[in-house]
Amino acid sequence: MRLSLHTAALGAAIAMLAVAAPAARAGAASSAACTTTAGVTVIVDFTHFSRSIERGCAAGAPADALGAIHAAGFSTAGTSRYGDAFLCRVDNLPAPKDEACGDTPPANSSWAFYWAKPGDTTWTYSRTGVLSYHPATGTVIALAFGNHAKPEITPAAAVPVPPPPTTTPTSPPVSALIAPTTTLGGAPTTTARTPVSTTTAARPTTSPVTASTSAPTTSTPRVVDRTASASIPHDDSGSPLPALLGAALVVALAVGAGVTIRARRRRSA
């Protein structure tokens, strides 16, 4: 009976530890996995909060825009009245002290939802919510904070550009660098040719452009990719429960082992 009680305590401690452990959340797929023909690219413009524009990838065919946003590595929160049908927060922004998210927030304090199909040059404002919009493969969906605020990049700039194919430079054949010659005795010899660089013979045909006549450059907003190693932040450092349960598990294991050894000695005596 004593062994059964200790075994039950051990099982209970293991079960409590498993429940208390935080659930692992998968990170976003690599942004390069989404193209104009694969996956759904997700853009979240955090510039209103002095952060970068972030890009994630929802591989495959998400059922709705909310699922694509989550699959791309972003966390969301709806409102108390409408739930996830109305998107109120993205990655805990705006902060709860600034927006309670009890009811629909005003236009200047909410996330605007846009989409674009492959080849589109402008964003289309969505008249439906994130649960009602079903993105097709290759679609780009975007969120920007403010009254009909648009993302600060174009749909074309939102899709990751695939890296150019690598090419191996080829050397000219050895025969092209050797020219046959003849001596007075008629025996052929070879003389190595020195390749002539064409770059030294080139001359500029126009005068260089001075700084005063050069066209002004425009800066492109920075886009940060959420890779497969990025995960949704989860902080459990303030709770002592996992540590206490871990200590209880160690004690239960030690007691159970001692009871088993004593029982075996009694049977062998």
In the numeric block, the tokens 């975007």 are attached to: 142
Most confident listed range (31-35, 190-194, 220-224): 31-35
Instruction: Look at 6 and 265; give whichever has higher pLDDT.
Output: 265
DSSP string for residues in 133-187: --PPTT-EEEEEESTTPPPSS-HHHHSPPPPPPP-PPPPPPGGGGEEEEE-TTS-
Containing 54, the helix (H) or strand (E) segment is: strand 53-58
pLDDT, tens only, 119-130: 999 999 999 999
Which range among 142-146, 165-169, 250-254, 265-269 shows the weakest confidence by mean pLDDT? Answer: 250-254
The gap between the terminal CA atoms of the chain, to the nearest Å, is: 19
Q: Is the pLDDT of residue 22 over 60?
A: no
Containing 223, the helix (H) or strand (E) segment is: strand 223-225
pLDDT, tens only, 133-163: 999 999 999 999 988 799 999 999 998 776 6
What phi and psi values does residue 111 have, to the nearest 5 degrees? -90, 130
* Those residues with Cβ within 8 angstroms of residue 134's Cβ, 6 or more apart along the chain or in another chain: 63, 64, 65
* Buried-state track 22-33, b at ≥16 Cβ within 10 A, e below 16: eeeeebbbbbeb
Q: How many CB atoms sit inside 10 A of residue 77's CB?
A: 17
Q: Is the pLDDT of residue 62 over 60?
A: yes
What is the predicted pLDDT for the residue at 264? 66
Chain centre to alpha carbon of residue 118: 20
* Buried-state track 211-226, b at ≥16 Cβ within 10 A, e below 16: eeeeeeeeeeeebeeb
Q: Let me know how long the chain is.
A: 269
Instruction: Look at 107 and 266; give whichever has higher pLDDT.
Output: 107
What phi and psi values does residue 47 have, to the nearest 5 degrees? -65, -25
Q: How far apart are CA 27 and CA 75, in angstroms?
A: 11
Q: Quick one: what percent of the chain has pLDDT higher than 90?
A: 42
pTM: 0.58
* Those residues with Cβ within 8 angstroms of residue 65's Cβ, 6 or more apart along the chain or in another chain: 113, 115, 126, 129, 130, 131, 133, 134, 135, 141
31-158 sits in which CATH class?
mainly beta
What is the predicted pLDDT for the residue at 209? 46
Q: Is the pLDDT of residue 197 over 70?
A: no
* Those residues with Cβ within 8 angstroms of residue 67's Cβ, 6 or more apart along the chain or in another chain: 58
* Averaged pLDDT score across all residues of the chain: 72
Query: Please, what's the largest Cα pairwise distance for the chain?
Result: 114
Instruction: Look at 7 and 170; give whichever has higher pLDDT.
Output: 170
**Peptide bond connecting 164 to the previous residue in cis, omega within 30 degrees of 0:** no
Which range among 71-80, 165-174, 192-201 shows the weakest confidence by mean pLDDT? Answer: 192-201
Q: Is the pLDDT of residue 4 over 50?
A: no
Domain ranges of the chain: 31-158
